[in-house]
Chain A
């Protein structure tokens, strides 16, 4: 009874407090440091072509202009925002400062060709233009425009920035938008990021199931040109060849603001009577046709039926599982991954050691910082580079902030899987505050690209301490709210306790790591077992639980958020002075984007949000790696342990077990 009263009190408290939702449009919660559209100063450019050579995405093309005293070649950069991932290598390497970043994130269009910016266009400072909304055509078009139902298809990383729209921070419901699970109920589809051939088959199917009129919004660069994966053997380069797309949003990933602007544009177009492009699908002569599923007939006399869970399911992520059911109990489960297989290990063999840093966080969008850390660690081991102490501390702060937002994401999914949306909206709303602080630190919300070989790319701003301490005290208060609403909530406890129990032996034998392993009572955390960066100085208290069920896995993550806040506080207190990045290798060579790393091989292990992340790199003395193996933390957990854990679980509990293991399909698919 007292718990219920406490929950009611918390809800009333929340209702009385300041709303968490950002206003829209202006007043964008942008930080000055966000890496947005580039700005070009032609008078400073020497035409040296470095920016076009260093770009890992081939986004910069040098075009001929008038020759001058300063610019003897007459070449000037033209940036294609269908390809640019805003990693900042061009700005970093520009010798004269002719290229710089603005914090303007909004790049969207109905015609992708217009995103190719000539030097003249780049020299104009960006502004947000609001076109005059068209007149409302009739009552039907008005009603349509105010109640767009959107189908969730989390094809790739860009979906991470559509998530804040579900949360209370951006709150899409104020536009009349609702996310639905079934294509038959939907009006619009958001293609959230890169598309592999395996996913494309499902997208075509989903698209053809949506009733007329239908609209398609595409997020990010990958559906336009392949983006970062322009040379990947398993990524579709242009989805408009297969289905028509109405609005394209550029970015990698785009911030939530351009998604909002796109929605406003869509609402205005629809109220003016725009009914989408003509419906057509292209299966490329049957190559992109979905394989047929063999379902058991209902009257076959067998009690068991087969059910496909995912890859388009509100709770599945882009991952697919085929379940055999007896009644509503799972008797067998077979995973079918690969929807996000982009071939990272191959891609990395074709990019220089420094260029790869912008690639690695994309392996796992939910916790990219750990991947940067692991990759820079393995490269530094090979090149025998010592990272300055201040650089190590800043890396720890970045990694812990990233861990917090990753765990918050997971707790939100836990809420969604148990049918407890309040939790999801509140925690994901708080997550946006963490992302804004990460942007203050690194220049980006999701793909920070903060690390480089030798340290971090820049020092903190003078007011970072104040902002970080504000966030820490804010989140500590919010953790109490999570407890009141979530962890002490009898409904949630009944739903998750005793579900999907892992014992220590099975967890270890099936290579389960991270919070999932610690929830069974095993005290194993790489940060203390094989300490890296400054963790030995700062100290880590390892969080464990005893029962090993879904509840305790969520609880472990909640406690880890608390410990991460302590770590950040200690790191900020002890933050040493000095440089943040080494500039020369052990052999006294300057570290440049073409750095050659001596022959050899190395392993580096870090504790990512999901557990033990291991990078193995082999160098043959070139400026590109010979081989990189990424062993992600979810490979064993999801592909090996999860199917076994489902035996005897009720169908309604499958998503709960799934999210309690903290899935990231992008991580095991690579």
Chain B
């Protein structure tokens, strides 16, 4: 049983370092990865990057106390024909949230899996695989999670004509 004090100082209160920690961490990141588009909103750092940095940064963050992977999620941008995929991670020691996003073409939705970096990432990627149809290379769990016998387009994609599907599937007998 590890001593809790080894992980977090007693009387830990993130309110005290709310201002300084995210700022100093973003400076470190800028120099390490040549990033120049980090946005700071109170204790959330967010940035958009390329696919290589997406993975390298994940490894770096994991080594620097970003132990909690809160989610991996996607947004379907039909206007630019891209998927935006991001991970949101949290540093418990300094109470910093970090969102790292990457844009990939809709035609070939493939990205390296982060399941080897964070244990909880695999399940989130599985959800995105099911709901958006994005393949995460290296994730061994890619099979249906919520839906059973789903044959249509992945439902959370913007081009899935949802109302049409519902009308066909559930209301067709009433409407004749």
Contact = CB atoms under 8 A, between A and B. Distances in A.
B35 to A, nearest CB: 19
Nearest to A636: B120
B106 interface: no
A291 interface: yes
A345 B13 contact: no
Contacts, number: 127
A343 B155 contact: yes
A504 B119 contact: no
B131 to A, nearest CB: 8
Interface stretch (A128-136, A227-235, A478-486, A583-591): A227-235
A635 B72 CA distance: 12
A640 B148 contact: no
B171 interface: yes
Nearest to B76: A627
Contact of A522 (B18, B44, B92, B119): B92
B40 interface: no
B34 interface: no
Nearest to A505: B2
A57 to B, nearest CB: 14
Interface residues of A, number: 55
B123 interface: yes
B176 interface: no
A509 B2 contact: no
A246 to B, nearest CB: 22
A640 B18 CA distance: 30
A389 B46 CA distance: 29
A247 B107 CA distance: 50
A233 B8 CA distance: 44
A441 interface: no
Nearest to A342: B146
Contact of B147 (A341, A504, A522, A636): A341
A631 interface: yes
Contact of A237 (B1, B123, B171): B171
B146 A338 contact: yes
A603 B97 contact: yes
B9 to A, nearest CB: 9
A233 B2 contact: no
A510 B122 CA distance: 11
8 contacts: A231-B163, A233-B162, A234-B146, A338-B144, A508-B7, A508-B67, A531-B15, A631-B71
Given A234-B147, A635-B123, A639-B123, 7 more contacts: A233-B169, A237-B170, A337-B146, A503-B1, A508-B7, A511-B68, A536-B15
Interface of B: 1-2, 4, 7-8, 10-15, 18, 41-44, 67-71, 73, 75-76, 88, 92, 95, 97, 99, 118-120, 122-124, 131, 144-149, 155-156, 162-163, 165-166, 169-171, 173
Interface of A: 197-198, 201, 226, 231-234, 236-237, 241, 287, 291, 337-338, 341, 343, 345-346, 350, 503-505, 508-511, 520-524, 528-531, 536, 544, 546, 602-603, 605, 612, 614, 616, 618, 626-627, 629, 631, 635-636, 639-640, 669
